[in-house]
Structure 1
Amino acid sequence: MRAILIAAALLTTTAPAALAQQAAVPAVATAAPAPANAFERDRQSILAQAGQYRVHFDMRENVSFNADYDPLEEKLSGGSEIVRVVYDHGDRISLQHILVMEHEGQSIVVKHWRQDWVYQPQTVLTYAGPNQWTLTPVPADQRTGAWSQTVWQTDDSPRYGGVGHWTYDNGLSVWTSNATWRPLARRDAVRNPIYDRYLGTNRHALTPAGWVHIQDNVKMSGRNGGEPVAIVQEDVINTYDRSTNFSTKAGDDYWAKTQGFWAAIRDAWDAAIAAGNGVHVAEVGDTGSVTGIPLMTLADKVSSGELTEAAAIAQGRTIIAQATAR
C-alpha cells in the first residue's frame, strides 16, 4: 500500500502557488449534433466527465453551530487524474477515477473513487449511520426524469448515494442531488473529530474547461444517541480541468491489467447488497473501510503479475463475505 500513502501525501501537501501553475488545456469548440431528447442530453452530460484532468481540491469549514468548535482553516490540494468509462448501458453509466502521480521519477497509480449513474432508479444505496448502508426506495414521483448517483470508495465498498435531476438553465449544465447522509471522508476520519457524519448535497456542473464537483456538507454528531446535531458547515469544490501535461499510460496500464478483477469485486459487493437489502461493513479512518487495504493489495498483485486474476478474485470474494457477515 506504499503507493496509496505516497499519493495521499502528495494530494494533501500541494501548495496553492503550485496549483496555480498547473496549466489546463483550453476548451476547444467543436460542432456536435444536438441531443435527440432530454434523456440523451443527460447521458452526454454524465459522459462528459470522462477524460484527463488536473484536479484542484478546495475544502473549507465556514460556519460553526457549536460554541466550542472553531472551523478548520481552508485546505487546498491537487493532483492528476483520469476518468474512464467502465460501462455505458444507456440508462446505467459507470465512471472510474484513477490518480496518476509522479514522485521522484516514479509513476504512482491509485484507483480512486467511482461514480455510478442510474436513470429513474427504483432504489438508491444510502448511508444509514456508522458501518451501515441501506437500499432506499425512490418514490415514483421523484423518479421521473431523475438520475441517481452512487459513489464508491477506492476498493468499491459503498460511500453514499443520492437522486437528482440534470438542469440546463442560465447556461449551466448541472445535476443537483437531494440531501444525503455520508460517512466521514478520510481527511476528517483520521482526526477523530467531534462530528461523525455529513449531511451533504452534491452538484456536478460542466465548465468550458471540464467540470466541477461542489459539495455542501453539514458535519453532524450522532454520538449522543439521539437526533444528529449540526457542528459546522463545509464547502468542498473539486475542479477538473482538462490537461495533457501528464502521461496517462501508467493509469491506463493499471486499469487494463486489473479491470477484470475489479469487475468481479463490484459484482461481489452488489451481491452482498442485494442479499441484505443493504450492507454492513466496518469503517476505517485512513482507508475508508476494513476491506480497503486487502482488496487494493490484491489488485496491486494482479497488476504486478504476482497473483493471477482468478486467485485474486477468489480471495477478494472471501474478504467481502467475511467483512459483510452479521
Structure 2
Amino acid sequence: MRALMIAAALLATAAPVAAVAQTAGPAATAPTSAFERDRQSILAEAGQFRVRFDFRENVSFLAGYTPVESHDSAGNEIVRVVYDHGDKISLQHILVMEHEGQSIVVKHWREDWTYQPATVLTYAGPGEWTLSNVPEAERAGAWSQTVWQTDDSPRYGGVGKWSYDNGMAVWTSGPTWRPLARRDAVRHPVYDRYLGVNRHALTPVGWVHIQDNMKMQAGQGDDGDPVAVVQEDVINTYRKWDGYDPKAGDDYWAATKDYWAAVRDLWDAAIAAHGGVRVQEVAETGAVTGTPLMDLAEKVQSGEVTTAAAIDQAKTIIATATAR
C-alpha cells in the first residue's frame, strides 16, 4: 500500500492543470439507436487523461459547523475497458504518477454500467451495502452505475438516464447514498455519509464528473432521520492528454487483471449470497480489505506470489471480512 500513500501525497500537492495541452479524439460515428448512443457515451470515458479533482464545501446547515476551505489536486489517470458485453460495460481507472524518477501506479476506482437493471447495489450506512430493486418504470431506458473501491469492494450505486439536450451528452443519477471519501474520512468529521446526485458529461476534450453532495450526520435513535451538515460541489475534470507514458499502468493491469477478475467474482458471490454485503470501512483505504488485497496484487506483479496463490488468499480475506 506504500504506492497508494505516495500517490495520495502527489495528488494533494500536484500543480494545477489549466495549461495542460489537450488532445481531442476523433469525431464520433453517428449511433444507430438510443441504446448505442448511450453505450458510446459510456465508452468515451476510456482513454488517457490528466485529471483535476476540485472539492468545495459551500453552505452549512448545522449550527456551529464551518465549511472547510476548498481544495484541488491533479494527477495522470488511464481508464481502460475491462469488458463490454453490450448492456454491461466495466471501466477501470488507474493512476500513473511520477515520484523521484519512478513510476507510481495505483489501481483506482472502477465503474460498472448496466442497462435497464433489475437491481442496483446501494449504500445502506456505515459498513453495509444492499441490493435494491429498481422499479420497472424507473429502469426503462436507464443505466445503473456502480462504483467500486481500489480493492473492488463496493462504494455506491445509482440509476439514471443519458440525455442529449442542448448539444450535451449527460448521465444524471437519482439521489444516491455514498460512504465518505478518503479526503473526508481521515479527518473524522461530524458527518458520516453523503447523499449525492452524480452527473457524467462528455466534453470536446474528454469528460467531467460533477457531484452535488449533501454531507449527512447520522440521526439520533434507531428511527432518527440523517441530518444535513453541509453541501459540497465536486468537479472532477478528465482531459485527454498524451504528455505522459501510460505503459507502467498498462503493464500493471496486464500482470494483475486475472487476479482482479477473480477478486471481482469473490465480491459478487458475497453480495449474491446475502442480497448485499457488510464490510468494515477504514478511513485510509475505504475498506478493511483494502490493504491486503492491494498488497497481493503488487506481489503478483513482482512475481513474489502466483496469481492462483493470491486468489486463494483473497478468498480467505474477503470471506473473513464479510462474515455475518
TM-score of the superposition, structure 2-length normalised? Answer: 0.98
Quote the residue 2:259 is aligned against.
261
Give the Cα–Cα distance (whole angstroms) in 1 for the partners of residues 65 and 29 of structure 2: 52
Question: 2:78 aligns to what?
Answer: 82
Q: What's 1:142 paired with? A: 138
8 Å contact from structure 1 (residues 196, 223) kept in 2:
no
What CA distance in whole angstroms lies between the structure 2 residues aligned with 1:257 and 1:298? Answer: 12
Match of 1:200? 196
Whether 2:320 is the aligned partner of 1:325: answer no
- The Cα of 1:67 is off from its aligned counterpart by 1.9
Q: Is the 8 A contact 1:113 1:153 kept in 2?
A: yes
Letter of the aligned partner of 2:88 in structure 1?
R
Tell me which residue corresponds to 1:301.
299
1:14 aligns with 2:10: no
Shift of 1:118: 0.2
Deviation string, structure 1 residues 182-226 (Cα, Å, up to 9, x no partner) = 000000000000000000010000000000000000000005331
Q: CA deviation at 1:20?
A: 2.6
Match of 1:185 in 2: 181
Equivalent residue of 1:57, what SS?
A: strand
Paired residues in the alignment total 322
What is the deviation of 1:24? Answer: 2.3
| 1:14 Cα offset (Å) | 1.8
C-alpha distance after superposition, 1:113-135 (max 9, x if no partner): 00000000000000000100000
SS of the residue 1:288 aligns to = coil
Query: Match of 1:46?
Result: 42
Is 1:273 the counterpart of 2:271? The answer is: yes
Q: Structure 2 counterpart of 1:35, which letter?
A: P
Whether the 8 Å CA contact 2:280–2:287 is kept in 1: the answer is yes
Q: Which residue matches 2:105?
A: 109
1:219 maps to which of 215, 218, 222: 215
Shift of 1:29: 4.7
- Once the two structures are TM-superposed, the CA of residue 23 in structure 1 deviates from its matched residue by 2.4
Give the SS at the match of 1:83. Answer: strand
Hey, what does 2:3 align to over in structure 1? 3
Please give the TM-score of this superposition, normalised by the length of structure 1: 0.97
Letter in 1 for 2:317: I
SS in 2 for 1:82: strand
Aligned to 1:49, the other structure's residue is in SS state: coil
1:130 and 2:117 aligned:
no
| Shift in Å, 1:33 | 3.1
User: Match for 1:33 among 12, 20, 29?
Assistant: 29
Amino acid aligned to 1:307: V
Instruction: Confirm whether residue 156 of structure 1 aligns to residue 116 of structure 2.
Output: no
Counterpart-to-counterpart distance in 2, 1:283 and 1:261: 23
**Following TM superposition, by how much is the alpha carbon of 1:21 offset from its aligned partner in structure 2, in angstroms?**
3.4
Q: Distance in 2 between matches of 1:171 and 1:10?
A: 36
Structure 1, unaligned runs of 5 or more: none
Q: Distance in 2 between matches of 1:309 and 1:215?
A: 37
Please say if residues 163 and 178 of structure 1, whose CA atoms lie closer than 8 Å, have aligned partners that are also in contact. yes
Q: Quick one: which amino acid aligns to residue 7 of structure 2?
A: A
In 1, Cα distance between equivalents of 2:272 and 2:125: 19
C-alpha distance in structure 1 between counterparts of 2:102 and 2:74, whole Å: 18
| Aligned-pair identity (%) | 73
Match of 1:62 among 47, 58, 61: 58
Q: In 2, Cα distance between the equivalents of 1:277 and 1:77? A: 37
CA distance in 2 between counterparts of 1:269 and 1:194 reads: 30
Residues 146-185 of structure 1: CA deviation (Å, up to 9, x unaligned): 0000000000000000000000000000000000110000
Range 215-224 or range 269-278, more displaced: 215-224
Secondary structure at the aligned position of 1:128 is classed as strand
The one-letter code matched in structure 1 to 2:190 is I
Report the aligned-residue RMSD: 0.9
**Offset, 1:13:** 1.4
CA distance in 2, matches of 1:20, 1:306: 41
Against the structure 1 CA distance between its residues 223 and 304, is the aligned structure 2 distance closer, same or farther, given a 3 Å change threshold? farther
Give the deviation of 1:261 after TM superposition: 0.1
Give, in angstroms, the shift of residue 22 of structure 1: 2.7
Matched residue type, 1:234 = E
**In 2, are the aligned partners of 1:272 and 1:324 still within 8 Å (CA)?**
yes
Shift of 1:28: 4.7
